[in-house]
Amino acid sequence: GQTGPITCGKPVLRAAVPCLCFIHFQKAQKHVARSLKKAGLAASSSNKPAPKLHVIISEYVRCIQAKRKDMDNGSRIQIRDSSLTITNTVKDEA
């Protein structure tokens, strides 16, 4: 069996660190840089101390949750009648 999470269907050496394919590794780097910037921590700044891992993770999780919330809010269609309330959730398969 395989140990650890499966990130995508592309074959990657299990011993490789990080165990992401090239495309997902670039996306992860971009998201971490964006999260650092939003948290006010520039990754290239030499005069600031290195950010703590918990700060990076909490900002990254906040961005993911905000993205999911935006997707949920934009994908619901509600039809209201005096005697009937129908909620239809439309998921975008992109």
The torsion region of residue 92 among left (phi > 0), alpha (psi -120 to 50) and beta comes to: beta
User: Which contacts qualify for 70-77: CB closer than 8 Å, 24 or more apart?
Assistant: none
pTM of this structure: 0.34
Average pLDDT of span 13-33 = 73
Average pLDDT of span 15-37 = 75
Question: Which residues sit opposite 79 in a β-bridge?
Answer: 86
Q: Please, which pLDDT band fits residue 1 given cuts at 50, 70 and 90? A: very low
pLDDT in tens, 37-86: 887 766 555 555 666 777 778 888 888 888 888 887 765 555 555 454 44
Question: Where exactly are the structural domains of the chain?
Answer: 22-89
